[in-house]
Structure 1
Amino acid sequence: MIDLYYAPTPNGHKISLFLEESGLPYRLYRIDMSAGEQFRPEFLAISPNNKIPAIVDHQPVDGGAPISVFESGAILQYLAEKTGKFLSPELRERTLTLEWLTWQVAGFGPMLGQNHHFNHFAPQPVPYAIERFLQETRRLYAVLNRQLEKNAYIAGENYSIADIATYPWVVAHERQRIDLAEYPAVRNWCERVKSRPATQKAYALAQA
């Protein structure tokens, strides 16, 4: 059994997407960040960076005590290795998948997050920051579009944790002032992922 500590954010959706795709049994624990629940000692014990998502695996593959994992990229790799799903054992495909997973967690997510912040949450408009992060967002979408022009999915012909990590950020493209018509390969990929039954189940959690 996996305990998922969750909020309906792009990073939270990554893990519910994987769990729904893989069929691993899990329990959902919602963290109300507006109420400061991410700072409670019991949550910090499993997520010392006081952010969601985090998991506790009560049946790790080594048969030992429960193990906790924080940071979305680390969780996705952990779960992929546990299940043998969405991360190829073949050297080249695995390496490509991990490259694009790292691209998402190190660049695509953080830059789009800054775009969100300065466009929607900053107390005062900061024109330089708005423009800087919009331009970087556009650059990153162009990088992703070029990759998807060559492949059905980000790391090749197989759906992987690179897609699972990236999709929840692309869903929010309108809030990033991005028109997917300018990135047709990304738009087509986004529709393919959206149509997956597990995607629909994972996003239904946000409404429950």
Structure 2
Amino acid sequence: MNLQQAVFSRLYRRAPVDELPWHREQPPELLQRAIEERPAGGRALDLGCGEGVYSVHLARAGFSVVAVDFVPAALSAARDRADAAGVTIDFRQGDVTEFEATEPFDIVLDSGCLHHLPKARVQRYRSMLDGWLAPGGDYLLVHFARRPRVGWIPKGPRHLTREQATTLFAPYALRAYDETTFDVPLPMGPMRAGIYWFTRPLA
């Protein structure tokens, strides 16, 4: 187990799932809009699925869901949530940048995974995304937007401006953008996060 896995595992042990700073019971509005635009029966990939809230929401909407996380405690909570909801989800433990898709997905969701990846893995993630997401598919990303007031802290998650994210994911089209706040404890928080809805070109 690496240091980052150890940190997240400790967080899951210390607090109930619904008290974790990133926990949300409802999906982002932009994810819901993307779901409503697509017929049931599609495929969805949840990267860094955590306790599985959004994975379950996608499964209830009729999607075949694969959910990936590297924290065993998170996946345990996610499986319990899926069982309680009566839905079937293909949970995988591991590094998202090592996940190989056998066929592409209509929706790829990343709520807080990318901004925790080591910088050296970002370009691999970006290239892998083209293998995960089908042409015309939707990519939903929640990523820290601006550095906190104590921005001199050298460690911790990265932050992207809207312009940086648009450049990173070109030629995907930015369909919509929103922001939310995570109640991360001081000195790192609270933190603003951008919510992006990108669509991959058909060709």
Q: What is the TM-score with the length of structure 1 in the denominator?
A: 0.31
Q: Kindly indicate which of the two structures has a greater share of residues assigned to helix.
A: 1
Bigger CA radius of gyration: 1
Q: Please state which structure has a larger fraction of its residues in strand.
A: 2
TM-score, L = length of structure 2 = 0.31
Bigger relative contact order (CA 8 A; separation at least 6): 1
